[in-house]
Structure 1
Amino acid sequence: MKKIAVLIIFCFLMFSCVQKAYEQTVIYTVEIPDSEGVTSVGIRGNDKPLNWEQDTELKKINDKNIYQVKVTYLTGYKFTEVKFTRNGEYELQNMPNRRVEFNPSGITRYKAVFNQSQK
């Protein structure tokens, strides 16, 4: 009987420590000031569905060199970290990643200029 009680308490503690995950959608928009020779614009990041090994492609949305993608995360965190890429090369070399704070509403709009850190 004592073993069953310990097992029940153990199971309760294990499952009560799991952080609840929420859908967080981020609309990333980036301007590429020097667009000559650009063949691809992407984003990489810490949290699925993004990763640091492969670009998620941004699509050009106008003739002013603005690119955009919508990414939906399933996460318990309040932020993520990303970097944009141009032709597969990272921006902000030897600088910190961009920190994107999630809006409590579940939809965040993040605007940036390629290779310029946020103030």
Structure 2
Amino acid sequence: MKTKVAISVCILSLFLTSCVQKTFKKTVVFRLNTSEIKEVKKVGIRGKDKPLSWDYDTEMKTIQKDSLYEITVTFETGYKFTEVKFVVNDDFEFKNEDNRRVVFSEKDTTFYNAKYNMR
């Protein structure tokens, strides 16, 4: 009887551990064009997957003042996409609309070019 219980526990533990989704590191280079906006003071990105958050902006680096901003983010995820929104001067893009869906490339790095508040 003890042997049957031990075998059952081993089989159950194998099933439970094999259900864990495999994760991958996915790097995304986000580039945002803000050339249509005057007096850009602050540019950020928010998202659903760590290291991004919907609660606070992750600041983007200035590539060309008042025109082009960039950030490189590495996600550890089991999903094939993530969702983000850009924030300029504390103003969210696409208010009351769907988030941007960024599909990860099969390669190591995904390059995502966007224009603020335009699909």
TM range (shorter): over 0.9
Conservation of the 8 A alpha-carbon contact between 2:23 and 2:77: yes
After superposition, residues 1-119 of structure 1 pair within 5 angstroms as 1-63=3-65, 65-117=67-119
For residues 82 and 115 of structure 1, the distance between their equivalents in structure 2, rounded to whole angstroms, comes to 12
For residues 114 and 27 of structure 2, the distance between their equivalents in structure 1, rounded to whole angstroms, comes to 17
Distance 1:92 1:23, change over 3 A: same
Identify unmatched segments of 5+ residues in structure 1. none
Secondary structure at the counterpart of residue 110 of structure 2: strand
For residues 5 and 40 of structure 1, the distance between their equivalents in structure 2, rounded to whole angstroms, comes to 60
Question: Which one-letter code corresponds to 1:110 in the other structure?
Answer: Y
Q: CA deviation at 1:40?
A: 0.8
Question: Which one-letter code corresponds to 2:62 in the other structure?
Answer: K
Secondary structure at the counterpart of residue 53 of structure 2: coil
Structure (1 or 2) with the larger CA radius of gyration: 2
For residues 81 and 52 of structure 2, the distance between their equivalents in structure 1, rounded to whole angstroms, comes to 13
Distance 1:49 1:22, change over 3 A: same
Identify unmatched segments of 5+ residues in structure 2. none
- What's the CA shift string for 1:75-98, capped at 9, x where partnerless? 111000100001222101111100
TM-score for both structures, normalised by structure 1: 0.92
Secondary structure at the counterpart of residue 14 of structure 1: helix
Question: Which one-letter code corresponds to 1:108 in the other structure?
Answer: T
- What's the CA shift string for 1:48-93, capped at 9, x where partnerless? 1111001111111024610000000011110001000012221011
**Fraction of identical pairs, as percent:** 43
For residues 94 and 31 of structure 2, the distance between their equivalents in structure 1, rounded to whole angstroms, comes to 16
For residues 91 and 106 of structure 2, the distance between their equivalents in structure 1, rounded to whole angstroms, comes to 32
Conservation of the 8 A alpha-carbon contact between 2:39 and 2:66: no
Count matched residues: 117
Secondary structure at the counterpart of residue 61 of structure 1: strand
